[in-house]
Structure 1
């Protein structure tokens, strides 16, 4: 994280080359005000004041930092979270140079997408972390539905699909102490107005954008505002232990249930199976070829049919 924050400060002219070696001996938290200052500067495409205008939320998005370019919004959000920002703070960047995904995957996120992270302090048992990811998927799907997208679906655990093609990914990262989650960073990337040609060739067939699906340019500030409202509603449901209601909404939009999948579990324990449902803790329930049921808590599920 130190290197990424230093790069941000250097790019924005807040640090000289001569100072970079010196700050290796300094508490990185001493630069939090500089990072906040950068995040309050006016940017070209994503506008914090437009998002905040008439944003009817209690705490989500009451503090918004928007950057022109960062390595990863999750990294910046983690830095701010470690240095005292409020629950519900949102970090947005017009571009990411080293965005992170599950299993350590990374890529560049160019202009034309929505790249944001939300800081939460839910104070719940760490076993509830998978449900936070599922709840975020429901919030994204509801946002797309209200924006005119027909039948967005949620692929376990963290992708939003339209017509079998990915339009959004979610990455949840948590800090826990004594089995209790202290804070959570929820990264959301939505392909809004991107050109499919901007994606690596191996991703192009399996990816879509909102502008393609809606056949018009998406107003990103308005979409972010709508998402933050939906996210707070589902977050409040989570805070009041409405887990079954979250799972009900997730099941209604599931892309995974009823599919034959290849489960790529940790330690190379790969197997094929049929997805029969999702458990109350957020694990995918898969029936293996031998008829036994397996709970998939972590790993990846590749849709085969």
Structure 2
């Protein structure tokens, strides 16, 4: 986290190299107000004012911090959550230089995408954290429907696909203290208006963008506002305990159900199976080749052709 904050301070060019080195020796939280100030400055590609002016929410996005370039919006969100940022705060960056996806995978975030994190404070226990990821996936799909994409699907647990190609990834991280959830950081990355050729070779074939699917560029400020509105709607359902309603929506948009998959779980041998559905806890229910059922709580499910 310290490296992220120092990285932002360096780009402001308001501190000398000597001062930056001295900052490494002090309490980094002392610079929270400066980071918030930077997040309120004008940027080149996105507009904080446009996002907030078109936003129709009660809580989500009432505070927005927008940066030109950070290593990871999730890291900045964690820092700000420790320094007074309230439930519903949104951190956005025009690009990210060192973002991580699920299971520590590198997430490529060039200019032209939607890279944001939300700070939320759900009053739930640890067992409901997977449901937050599923609910966010539903919010993303509903936002895409509002801009004209009616065939987006959710691949368990955290990807959104269009025409079998990934357009969005979600990373949910809980911040705990004394075994109590203080905040949850929800990172969302949507490929919007860039040429997939800027991505590494291994990602190009399986990636699509909103621009490609719609045949025209989207207004990212508008898409962000719509996404935050949909997140608030489903967040309200979540907070009221409407987990069955969320699961029903998720099943409607599921890409995974009915597929043959290879399951890779931590510290376990991989196996193939058929995805039957999803449990009330948000675990994927898979029938193995021998007929036994497994609930997949974490890990990967690779779709097999």
Same fold (TM over 0.5): yes
Which residue pairs with 2:207 in the alignment? Answer: 207
Which residue pairs with 1:221 in the alignment? Answer: 221
Q: Is the 8 A contact 2:108 2:199 kept in 1?
A: no
Q: Give 1:32 shift.
A: 0.3
Which residue pairs with 1:188 in the alignment? Answer: 188
Q: Does 1:18 align with 2:18?
A: yes
User: Mean Cα displacement is larger for which, 17-26 or 198-207?
Assistant: 17-26
Which residue pairs with 2:125 in the alignment? Answer: 125
Q: Does 1:113 align with 2:100?
A: no
Which residue pairs with 1:62 in the alignment? Answer: 62
Which residue pairs with 2:278 in the alignment? Answer: 278
3-state secondary structure, aligned to 2:267: helix
**What TM-score do you get using the length of structure 1 for normalisation?**
0.98
Which residue pairs with 1:7 in the alignment? Answer: 7
Matches within 5 A, 1:75-224: 75-224=75-224
Which residue pairs with 1:291 in the alignment? Answer: 291
Which residue pairs with 1:266 in the alignment? Answer: 266
3-state secondary structure, aligned to 1:139: helix
The root-mean-square deviation of aligned C-alpha atoms, in Å, is 1.0
3-state secondary structure, aligned to 1:19: helix
Which residue pairs with 1:234 in the alignment? Answer: 234
CA distance in 2, matches of 1:7, 1:39: 14
Which residue pairs with 1:43 in the alignment? Answer: 43
Q: Is the 8 A contact 1:63 1:88 kept in 2?
A: yes
CA distance in 1, matches of 2:26, 2:202: 43
CA distance in 2, matches of 1:123, 1:176: 12
* Cα deviation code 1:114-173 (max 9, x no counterpart): 000000011210100000000000000000011101210000000000010000000001
3-state secondary structure, aligned to 2:167: strand
Q: Is the 8 A contact 1:166 1:208 kept in 2?
A: yes
Q: Is the 8 A contact 2:54 2:222 kept in 1?
A: no
User: Mean Cα displacement is larger for which, 176-185 or 255-264?
Assistant: 176-185
CA distance in 2, matches of 1:145, 1:37: 34
Q: Give 1:189 shift.
A: 0.4
CA distance in 1, matches of 2:287, 2:277: 9
**What TM-score do you get using the length of structure 2 for normalisation?**
0.98
Aligned length: 305
User: Mean Cα displacement is larger for which, 98-107 or 67-76?
Assistant: 98-107
Q: Give 1:179 shift.
A: 4.4
CA distance in 2, matches of 1:43, 1:242: 38
After TM superposition, which residue ranges in structure 1, 4 or more long, deviate above 6 angstroms? none
